[in-house]
Chains A and B, each alone.
Chain A
Amino acid sequence: MSSAELVKHHEEPEEFGGYFIINGNERLIRYLILPRRNHVVSLIRPTFANRGPSYTPYAVQIRCVRPDQTSVTNNLHYLSNGSAMLRFSWRKQEYVIPIMLVLKALVGASDKEIFEGVMMQDYGNTFLTDRVELLLRSFKMYNLYTGEHCLEYLGDKFRVVMGMPEDWTNVAMGVWLIQKVVLVHLESPRDKFRMLL
């Protein structure tokens, strides 16, 4: 609006707005620095090792942003036994789940699919082959074999926390959990799976 128009609307001629008047004060919301969206950052922090037994200082973090600009932060922690844990927070409470559980629950991935996906043909890299093998082996103790099993397991464990209708099946609960907290900037489970690898 031009100065003349502003005055016509009972505003100051050089009014540029951008603030709220609260009790006569001009208050404004600050710009705030946040971690960059949808962008994986690797972190080495000694404090991560204090999270529990077999935790190490290594982790990667991503702040995922939905189309409506709300965000969810996912962390992936490296454990000294070679596997990884996914950390997220729900209603200010933090939860950690094995990454294998999520990978399987997303697309029902086979062990081979996960192995090939992480290795990307670099079979000479024995550091990586060892880690991935440990990752795959460490999941055997759960005795969960298909994506359906994993979703059911997840849904069962998070049923109380999520507070969704009681008549939902465990699988529906698992699907909902993954859609709500894991890599929320991506729509399809396949895309989430690819990003997690």
Chain B
Amino acid sequence: MLQKLYATVSLSCCADNPDSPQHQEVLLPGTLYGMIIKERLDEILNNIRNNISADVRNGVVVDFNDSQCHWTKPHFAEIYSNISTERYFTKVLSRVNFDVGAKLSNFLATGNLVSPTGLDLQQASGFTIVAEKLNWQRYISHFRCIHRGAFFAELKTTAVRKLLPEAWGTYQAARMFFIL
């Protein structure tokens, strides 16, 4: 990277064109969906930790082994092994909101990304669209079209964005199904 940077400065290498498909890739819906789930789970775990550390700071008795039941027969312990009987930890868990689905359904319904990190994306809205069923070709086009990104529409650059030779096939396909 340093070598390329210095080469760019000395103009022994030219600036790359971000409009060219050789410098682009497509974000798939499943990938985006997975990123949101991962971030939500991370948020939940952080909430649990913050809850516990707040308790420690406030001098609350923090005991992770304060189990309220002592099974008299070993097989009971086996049966109920998936039920948490530790009072303190159960209380902490009850204070944290575990709803992952709400975030996803909000994302799907509005197309807006509510995220503390931004997921390394250039935009925070317009991720989902309604597939209109005016006619079959229009309907199917929603499943095929690739979006250049919302930030692109607001770009203030006046540079020429020409059809690049290596992009010929891509753009022909894109022109057929393009919905901006």
Contacts and interface: CB of A to CB of B under 8 A. Distances in A.
B38 A34 contact: no
A62 B2 CA distance: 12
B35 A69 contact: yes
A70 B120 contact: yes
A167 B111 CA distance: 40
Interface in A5-43: 18-20, 22-23, 25-37, 39-43
Contacts of B2: 76, 84, 99, 118, 135, 196-197
Contact of A18 (B8, B143, B147, B149): B143
Question: By CB atoms of chain B within 10 A, which of A18, A29, A37 has the most?
Answer: A29
Interface in B70-112: 105, 108-109, 111
Interface string A123-135: 0000110011001
A7 B163 CA distance: 45
B138 to A, nearest CB: 12
A69 B37 CA distance: 12
Given A31-B28, A35-B25, A39-B23, A92 B116 contact: yes
Categorize the interface residue count of chain B: 35 or more
Given A32-B26, A73-B120, A128-B6, A60 B1 contact: yes
Nearest to A163: B46
A177 B15 CA distance: 30
Interface residues of A, number: 55
Interface in B93-141: 105, 108-109, 111, 116-121, 126-131, 133
A15 to B, nearest CB: 13
B26 A34 contact: yes
A30 B31 CA distance: 11
Interface string B2-28: 111111111001111010001111111
A145 interface: no
Contact of B130 (A26, A43, A62, A89): A26
Interface of B: 1-10, 13-16, 18, 22-29, 31-35, 38, 53, 105, 108-109, 111, 116-121, 126-131, 133, 142-143, 145-149
9 residue pairs, one from A and one from B, having the closest CB atoms: A29-B29, A42-B8, A44-B15, A32-B27, A41-B16, A31-B146, A69-B31, A26-B131, A30-B147
Given A34-B149, A73-B120, A131-B6, 13 more contacts: A27-B130, A27-B131, A31-B147, A33-B25, A33-B149, A34-B25, A41-B23, A42-B14, A60-B5, A62-B1, A70-B38, A76-B2, A84-B2
